Amino acid sequence: MKRFDYTRAATPAEAIAASAAEGAVYLGGGTNLLDLMKGNVLRPDRLVDVTHVAGLDRIERLPDGSTRVGALVRNGDLAHDPAFAKSYPAVAEALLSGASAQLRNAATTGGNLLQRTRCPYFTDGVSACNKRVPGSGCDAVGGDTRLHAVLGWSDSCIAVHPSDFCVPLAALGATVEIEGKGGPRSVPLVEFHRLPGDEPQRETVLEPGDLVTAVVLPAEAAGFAAHSRYLKVRDRTSYAFAVVSAAAALKLDGDRVAEARLAFGGVALKPWRSAEAEAALRGQPATVASFRRAAEVALADAKPSGDNSYKIELARRIAVRAFTLALSGTPERVPALPASPFSSPLGVAAHA
Ligand code: SF4
């Protein structure tokens, strides 16, 4: 492991100033960064520890009814906050589906957004990887691509973003608060992560020195609380990243869909919200047939990046299943083990 400097910041301004040094990176929970440093994949010169920055560890209900989650709120604390889980159950469910209890107790809200891809050619530290060494090529192309992207990929990079948390955040219209050299600003979560294009090393819209300070969920998103789920397919039941996941949420008007939300994980280098599928469901009967049509719309532009065409139909089926579960109602308690497509009851959707 390369030697590095360590400094601790007490305020956002101190953190931003300290990060101006060459090779500096922010340290939050460290659950991803330190792993990659130990594997010699990342070699920062300086860690700017932001875990003691005041005021970033709160969950606050704002006057307009929205909920502001500080960047240092731990994933486990957020998932188990009763008021938060009641208003945004799919977010709590997604959080509980990620990693392990120990990791959730260390990982932060801000760090979850900024975690790096688990593409094995990135994390092995030696393969050609445009994300790790720009311009070096991509050994994933033509390699083992079972878990790679089917939406939004480019010839430069076919990796996927690994977060569960970000998927319902995208579906529910969350925004990211950022403090930078130019002052504070706010970015919709769906615009926060970048698709690879020909610069896969640029993963977000953050500029050098920018510090994520909070994620805000709008008040209106709590209107989906009665009918929202996060469903994740993975290679084993726990402690694994999504092969494909979906956050699905409904507002109902009788037996019709008044409004729908849908986002996928495991299919692209960002959480993938489908506004087209949501529009296709508006006003339609709340049936499996409608959900299937919406899923077709959501995946209309999908194409395999290698040996992973199975993911496209899997994503359609996960979307239908997630909507079907959402229709039958959000469980009173988020299950200790979140929804598995192999163990959850199908719900009560009418087949049409
Ligand atoms: Fe690197 Fe992306 Fe290629 Fe993986 S898919 S090796 S992260 S460039």
Q: Tell the residue number behind the tokens 């469901």, with chain if given.
A: 281
State the pLDDT at residue 250: 98
Query: How far, in Å, from the CA of 128 to the mean position of ligand 1?
Result: 8
State the pLDDT at residue 347: 39
State the pLDDT at residue 33: 98
pLDDT in single tens digits along all 352 residues of the chain: 899 999 999 999 999 999 998 899 999 999 999 999 999 999 999 999 999 999 999 999 999 999 999 999 999 999 999 999 999 999 999 999 999 999 999 999 999 999 999 999 999 999 999 999 999 999 999 999 999 999 999 999 999 999 999 999 999 999 999 999 999 999 999 999 999 999 999 999 999 999 999 999 999 999 999 999 999 999 988 889 999 999 999 999 999 999 999 999 999 999 999 999 999 999 999 999 999 999 999 999 999 999 999 999 999 999 999 999 999 999 987 665 555 555 544 433 333 3
| Alpha-carbon separation of residue 149 from 129, 268, 279 (angstroms) | 15, 5, 24
- CB under 8 Å to 329, separation ≥6 — which residues? 226, 227
Token output for 63:
């006057």
State the pLDDT at residue 32: 97
Is the entire prediction scored with pTM above 0.85?
yes
Query: How far, in Å, from the CA of 321 to the mean position of ligand 1?
Result: 30
Query: How far, in Å, from the CA of 160 to the mean position of ligand 1?
Result: 9
Q: Looking at the DSSP assignment, which residues form a beta bridge with residue 246?
A: 231, 264
Whether 265 contacts 166, CB under 8 Å: yes
- CB under 8 Å to 188, separation ≥6 — which residues? 173, 174, 175, 176
3-state secondary structure (DSSP) of residue 122? helix
Query: How far, in Å, from the CA of 155 to the mean position of ligand 1?
Result: 10
The DSSP secondary structure of 16-46, one letter per residue, reads HHHTTSTTEEEESS-TTHHHHHHTTS---SE
Rounded to whole angstroms, how far apart are CA atoms 83 and 348? Answer: 27
Atom of ligand 1 minimally distant from the CA of 139: 6
Domains of the chain listed by start with CATH number: 5-52 (3.30.43.10), 223-346 (3.30.390.50)
State the pLDDT at residue 7: 97
Among residues 266, 257, 269, 325, which one has the least CA distance to residue 293?
257
| Residue 263 parent element (H or E) | strand 256-265
Query: How far, in Å, from the CA of 161 to the mean position of ligand 1?
Result: 11
Q: Looking at the DSSP assignment, which residues form a beta bridge with residue 249?
A: 228, 261
Whether 122 contacts 133, CB under 8 Å: no
Among residues 151, 129, 111, 137, which one has the least CA distance to residue 263?
151
Alpha-carbon dihedral sign for residues 61, 67, 70, 75: positive
Report the pocket of ligand 1 as residue ranges, CB < 6 Å. Answer: 117, 119, 121-122, 127, 129-131, 138-140, 157-159, 200
Whether 271 contacts 237, CB under 8 Å: no
Atom of ligand 1 minimally distant from the CA of 121: 6
Q: Pocket of ligand 1, candidates 36, 42, 115, 122: which has the most ligand atoms within 8 Å of its Cβ, to mutate? A: 122
